[in-house]
Amino acid sequence: MSAALVWFRRDLRMADNYALVRAATESSTTYGVFVLDPVVLKSAGELRLRYLLSALFDLDEQMGGRLNILYGDPSKEVTNLCEVVGAERVYISSDVSRYSKWRDSRTRDALNERSVSLEVCDYPTTFEPRSIHKGDGTPYQVFTPYLRAWTAKVPEVRSAPKVSVKWEYVPSQRSFPSKLNALAPYETGGERKELEKLDTFVQSTLSRYESERDFPAKFATSKLSAALHFGVIHPRTIVSKLDVQAHKRFLSELCWRDFFAETLEHHPDSSWKNLNGAFDALEVLPASGSANFEAWKSGMTGYPIVDAGMRQLLREGYIHNRVRMIVASFLVKDLHIHWNEGAKYFFECLIDGDVASNSHGWQWVAGTGRDAAPYYRIFNPTTQGKRFDPNGEYVKRYVEELQSVPEEFVHEPWLYVDFEGLGYPFPIVDHQLERIEALRRLESMKRDAL
């Protein structure tokens, strides 16, 4: 038995963590480390950083204040720490993004030069990436057959057993960049609070999930996306509380998360490039310098459901899934701006910002993916608003200018007799005209492709 590190990354938890199981059974002395990577910090907005802090502090507390938190290039920091403490192995959970794979391969090379091994013990998805595939070994390209195969494996899910690790600590090894020092941790983040949230959701909300999940005013979804993104909770922990038949719909949403991670695993460029290359020829408008893009970002498009969603994003670092689809469709099909501009902005602002779910969520809406999501499906923001927020409760929660507008005008305030006095913008584009324009662009792209 010898010294080892557990290098935490997107697995900021004590429970259901196979990296900890390996450390507890194979090492006499274990150090836990998290490296604040300037590359990752640069792309994260304030709310996501605050969530990260809450998750790190909770982990640290559970480790008796013994988490080594470093700042810098992870390959150098982890290798140095191994030298300082004489560790022979580093245990990690894998990740699927191109950057994380590059980082891990550099770190593995640096460690191997010093005869230290990097051991992959876990993964952030319900099942290990590449473990679900077609009979001929090739990956599924579309969701429905993937879901079928995924669901059949649910009974095989085995959470990691609880282990007790005696953590060691190197007092000189803690450094925080000033950018983080100035931030307060997010109030409800971290493993222990998120596990409580999971229990409350399963006991009180899950039974109405299927019927109410599409209504953004109803608080009918789990809001566990940030916990899943940071690995504060592993999806195995959630799946093992569910019933395959009774909770089919919720399971299928967790499956989307795995499917998108699997897609990224096989198509590393898909975080910014069209999965369907034919769409590279689609005419788009530039985001830079566009007043429409700025109006979209700040929630001033004049379409209430779009503006409520974009203001929820700014205020909470979160948007309800139905509304994510509506605002994304508006950017791509009404404003004709490339989906990756929207994805970049989402990624910056969302606490749950996740390369795989975000980029592929955008590709799904834009219709540029491999799945059966036709480009012609164009969300009408007014009818979507009326259908999924019938009394305007969600809109009024975020769009203050519309508080006094009677229900029947909430989604079409320009028809309200006192519209001029509201201080709310007139729609920046005419949806009916832009719908026709989106279809014209599609036809032109198809003609060019022939």
Please identify, using beta-carbon distances, which residue of 36 and 325 lies nearer to ligand FAD: 325
Is 215 an interacting residue with respect to ligand FAD (CB under 6 A)?
A: no
Under the binding rule (CB under 6 A), the answer on residue 353 touching ligand FAD is yes
Are 201 and 224 a contacting pair, CB within 8 Å? Answer: yes
Residue nearest to ligand FAD (CB): 361
- Nearest Cα to Cα of residue 347 among 59, 8, 97: 97
Q: Is 350 an interacting residue with respect to ligand FAD (CB under 6 A)?
A: yes
Judged by CB, which is closer to ligand FAD: 27, or 221?
A: 221
Cα separation of 227 and 124, whole Å? Answer: 11
Amino acid, res. 227: A
Cα 233 from chain centroid (whole Å): 13
Q: Which of residues 84-113 bind ligand FAD (CB under 6 A)?
A: none
Applying the rule CB under 6 A, the residues between 228 and 247 that interact with ligand FAD are: 228-229
Backbone angles phi, psi at 131, to 5 degrees: -90, -10
Tokens of 362: 């955008």
Question: Which helix or strand (DSSP H or E) is residue 90 part of?
Answer: strand 89-93
Token code pair at residue 40: 């990752």
State which residue, 320 or 411, has the beta carbon closest to ligand FAD.
Answer: 320
Residue of 346, 388, 416, 424 that binds ligand FAD (CB under 6 A): 346
Q: By CB under 6 A, is residue 254 in contact with ligand FAD? A: yes
What letter does residue 273 receive in the DSSP assignment? S
Residue 207 amino acid letter: S
146 scored as a contact of ligand FAD (CB under 6 A) = no
Cβ burial of 355 (10 Å; 0-12, 13-18, 19+) is buried
The C-alpha R_g of the chain, in whole angstroms, comes to 23
> CA-CA distances (angstroms) from residue 185 to 48, 51, 90?
10, 6, 28
Residue 444, number of CB atoms within 10 A of its CB? 13
Min dist. Cβ of residue 436 to ligand FAD (A): 23
Of 223, 336, 338, 431, which one interacts with ligand FAD (CB under 6 A)?
Answer: 223
Tokens 């222990």 belong to residue: 192
Q: Is 321 in the site for ligand FAD (CB under 6 A)?
A: yes
Q: Indicate the residue among 9 and 213 with the shorter CB distance to ligand FAD.
A: 213
For 157, other C-beta atoms within 10 Å of its C-beta total 16
CA-angle at 198, arms to 327 and 188, nearest 5°: 70
Q: Is 215 helix (H, G, I), strand (E, B) or coil?
A: coil
Q: Which range binds ligand FAD by CB under 6 A, 110-118, 150-158, 249-257, 278-286?
A: 249-257
Calpha distance 113→15 (Å, rounded)? 32
With binding defined as CB under 6 A, does residue 352 bind ligand FAD?
A: yes
**Binding of ligand FAD at residue 358 (CB under 6 A)?**
yes
Q: State yes or no: residue 194 binds ligand FAD (CB under 6 A).
A: no
Contact string (CB under 6 A) for ligand FAD, positions 259-288, x = contact: -x----------------------------
Out of 79, 126, 263, 357, the only residue in the binding site for ligand FAD (CB under 6 A) is: 357
Per rule CB under 6 A, is residue 361 in the interface with ligand FAD?
Answer: yes
Total site size for ligand FAD, rule CB under 6 A: 27
The residue within the footprint of ligand FAD, chosen from 17, 27, 62, 221 (CB under 6 A), is: 221
Q: How far apart are CA 56 and CA 183, in angstroms?
A: 13
Amino acid at 361: G
Using the minimum distance from each CB to ligand FAD, give the nearer residue, 168 or 348: 348
Choose which of 58, 95, 104, 354 interacts with ligand FAD (CB under 6 A): 354
Interface stretch with ligand FAD, choices 25-33, 272-280, 288-296, 321-329 (CB under 6 A): 321-329
- Residues at the site binding ligand FAD, with contacts judged by CB under 6 A: 213, 221-225, 228-229, 253-254, 256-257, 260, 321, 324-325, 328, 346, 350, 352-354, 357-358, 361-362, 365
